[in-house]
Structure 1
Amino acid sequence: MDRLSNPNGNVPLGDDSGNLTERNDEPPPTKSQCMDKFVEMVPNWSEELLGFNQGTLAVLIGLILLVFITRLIAVMTIPNMFNNLCDKSPVAEIAIHGSSKALGTAVGAGIMWRSALALADGSAAVMPSTVEFWLPSIAQVVMLIAIIAWALRLTVCVQAVVEYWDDDDELDGAERTLIGAVESVMRFCIVVFGSIFIADALNFDLTTMVAGLGITGLALALAAKDSIANVFGAVTVLLDRPFRVGDWVLISGSEGEVINISLRTTLLRTSLDTVVTIPNANLTNKPIENFGKRRWRRYQPVISLDLDSDPDAVQNFTSGVGDLIRTDENTMKEDASWAKVSAISKDSIEISCNIYWDVNGGADERDARQLFLLNVARLAKENGIAFYEPRVRNQRTLN
């Protein structure tokens, strides 16, 4: 018995008893055939309603329910998969919980997209031509938009990953600057490639679009020259590193703390708690004064004493202030650090101080000033010295 004598294409095989059996070489059913079986399982599936047959309507309703169930499962399970990262970083917890809805929507829309294609390719489904054409495209676009939203929300996880692997559990300025740059580049790439995929899903001719860019490229370059200059400015900042996140800088008359460096702009938080937005293009041709790179901090307070203070007590007090300056662990340039009587006015005796401190930031400098001034107040009390107070002085004059 050969294959030609077997119209079904089944190959005869021998079993242990010598009898011939047949092996089924039929291919597995396609997705379209599976969808046809689902349609035909519906009672009275061939009866038409609103341009659909009842089997197609039932399958579409089932797919919509499946999309919602899939989205719900994704929202409930995805955060549990990243418990360690969420426990380590609140930023990651917010990002993952916020992005799980978008990812669930993407998975559900993807199921709808592939199922709608298989349903439209089948022979049992009946639906209006408009629905048959647009349903897969709309589902694909929704899936792509959800994936883009999910990816954009996850960009903040760059900070969470750095925090997770950071040994000292505290991000310095260089790390925060790098995080901001990586997040900006990731967002840019996600939007660009996502737009290309969406255009393809809507059946735009990408070849024609790319060819058209050659014609309109000059116009786009002229229109986007400021944006391009901002991008190059950001690259310059990241390579030359004139400042980093956390530094206190003065740029074009705007002074404040650098809080973010993106591809287009740099944000400063001023002392008035306002935010100044500076285009990165301005950073390449403007002087930048970075207070965060100072090797030391200079402090020049003037201490005003009451004019009736005893000169010997003032001398002892001044010597004591000088000792406070020189013995301070933060003091550097001891030869240039001093405290001396600089003037005697009609109302007060003035002692000028010149101090150089080796402190890292503004908070450390404020702490050093506070400690110094409180020690000065204690020293004045020990020497019986009174500080100049205009009201007390005027009252003495009247008496």
Structure 2
Amino acid sequence: MGLYDNLTYSSDDLGGFSESTLIVLASIFIASFIVRFLVSTLSHRFVSVIISNDEIRKKAVKKGDAALGTAAASVFAFIFCSILWDERSENANIVIPSWLEYLPDVLQFLLVFFVVVWAFRLVSLVYDVVKFFDTDGELDGTEKTLISALESTLRFVIAFVGSVFIADALGFQLTSLLAGLGITGLALALAAKDTISNFFGAITVLLDRPFKVGDWVIIGSSEGEVIEINLRTTLVRTSLDTIITIPNANLVSTPVENWGKRRWRRWQSMIHLDINSDPTDVESFCKRTLELIQNHEATTKEDSSWCSINTISAQSIDIGLNLYWNVSSS
């Protein structure tokens, strides 16, 4: 028993359809519009469950609900029309004109097309997602450049995959097409291996955030201040005011020491007092200085701080000073 075995036959054709087939097709498309309405209306509730940020949620619904609803309607219509088309050989009541033979292919094309449109619109959310996870909530020029490159890459991937499925919907030989694209892609990947590695290295810097512009870092044998992060390279200015260009691919496999991530900093100094200074005054000076250090709100590691006589030379009494201050909140 097929899904449409109960169709009643009508000898009066309407535009090449049997009356009952026309009713079924009309029912399918009316139901498809209802599906589109429901998906477009209820998508914001689903998005609210998986996305907590209000700004990202609103943009996701605004940019994707219409295309997603149309894609869902196309899926619904494609499934039931395909079943109807497959049962024609077993059910004489199903009469479909020849000019409508390619309707399932058209619906498959619409499905892929609107899924691609939906995915394209959501790509712009990458900026908002990265900004949401950014510690200071502000993106500098380097980060914006990397985000723009990531968005372009995602759009290319979506367009590439969508083109393959659209070609399948239009009746092209998918096996031959994929074989040709695979050989071409392999050749391009081998030719651009270093460029691709550097690009993904830049994406790693963006996502893992081992450093940012302005940090003092040690990368392998290179040390200096990060002045620019590009798609292919990272530029570091050394203490000699030279610039080192580091390929981003190296950042994936090379340890990075970031001095800008320190939670505290240490300061050591030597205070020279006159050799004829009163020992009691010197001891009082050391004691009061240490108390000031330990009681100051900006200092930390009080137990490791000290202020005491270091050496006594022929000309002076040398007071050694060691303190730490908190920089984690600065």
TM-score by length of 1: 0.45
Question: Do the aligned partners of 1:74 and 1:103 also contact (CA within 8 Å) in 2?
Answer: yes
Give the drift of 1:225. Answer: 3.1
Give the drift of 1:209. Answer: 3.1
Establish whether residue 107 from structure 1 lines up as the match of residue 72 from structure 2: yes
Give the drift of 1:108. Answer: 0.2
Partner Cα distance (2:73, 2:104) in 1: 13
User: Structure 1 61/214 Cα, relative in aligned 2: closer, same or farther at 3 Å?
Assistant: closer
Give the drift of 1:117. Answer: 2.9
Q: What pairs with 1:149-188 in structure 2 (closer than 5 Å)?
A: 150=118, 153=122
Give the drift of 1:142. Answer: 2.3
Partner Cα distance (1:335, 1:210) in 2: 71
Establish whether residue 93 from structure 1 lines up as the match of residue 66 from structure 2: no
Establish whether residue 203 from structure 1 lines up as the match of residue 171 from structure 2: yes
Establish whether residue 292 from structure 1 lines up as the match of residue 260 from structure 2: yes
Q: What is the match of residue 95 of structure 2? A: 124
Return the structure number with greater relative CO, CA threshold 8 A, min gap 6: 2
User: Structure 1 281/120 Cα, relative in aligned 2: closer, same or farther at 3 Å?
Assistant: same
Question: Do the aligned partners of 1:331 and 1:355 also contact (CA within 8 Å) in 2?
Answer: yes
Return 5+ residue gaps in structure 1 as ranges: 1-27, 164-169, 174-179, 268-277, 300-319, 337-353, 366-399
Question: Do the aligned partners of 2:264 and 2:325 also contact (CA within 8 Å) in 1?
Answer: yes
User: Structure 1 211/84 Cα, relative in aligned 2: closer, same or farther at 3 Å?
Assistant: closer
Q: What is the match of residue 74 of structure 1? A: 39
Partner Cα distance (1:266, 1:54) in 2: 67
Establish whether residue 212 from structure 1 lines up as the match of residue 180 from structure 2: yes
Give the drift of 1:136. Answer: 1.8
Greater Rg over alpha carbons, structure? 1
Question: Do the aligned partners of 1:249 and 1:289 also contact (CA within 8 Å) in 2?
Answer: no
Question: Do the aligned partners of 2:213 and 2:227 also contact (CA within 8 Å) in 1?
Answer: no
Question: Do the aligned partners of 2:198 and 2:249 also contact (CA within 8 Å) in 1?
Answer: yes
Establish whether residue 228 from structure 1 lines up as the match of residue 193 from structure 2: no
Establish whether residue 243 from structure 1 lines up as the match of residue 216 from structure 2: no
CA RMSD of aligned residues (A): 5.6
User: Structure 1 85/323 Cα, relative in aligned 2: closer, same or farther at 3 Å?
Assistant: same
Q: Deviations over 1:274-303 (max 9, x none)?
A: xxxx9844756999774532343579xxxx
Determine helix, strand or coil for the equivalent of 1:357. Answer: strand
Q: What is the match of residue 317 of structure 1? A: none
Aligned length: 253
Give the drift of 1:103. Answer: 2.9
Question: Do the aligned partners of 1:106 and 1:144 also contact (CA within 8 Å) in 2?
Answer: yes
TM-score by length of 2: 0.52
Q: Deviations over 1:197-241 (max 9, x none)?
A: 4443333333323433564355322554355223552587599x6
Question: Do the aligned partners of 1:53 and 1:127 also contact (CA within 8 Å) in 2?
Answer: no
User: Structure 1 97/171 Cα, relative in aligned 2: closer, same or farther at 3 Å?
Assistant: same
Q: What is the match of residue 46 of structure 1? A: 13
Partner Cα distance (1:84, 1:119) in 2: 36
Question: Do the aligned partners of 1:297 and 1:358 also contact (CA within 8 Å) in 2?
Answer: yes
Question: Do the aligned partners of 2:39 and 2:69 also contact (CA within 8 Å) in 1?
Answer: yes
Identity within the alignment, %: 33
Q: What is the match of residue 29 of structure 1? A: 2
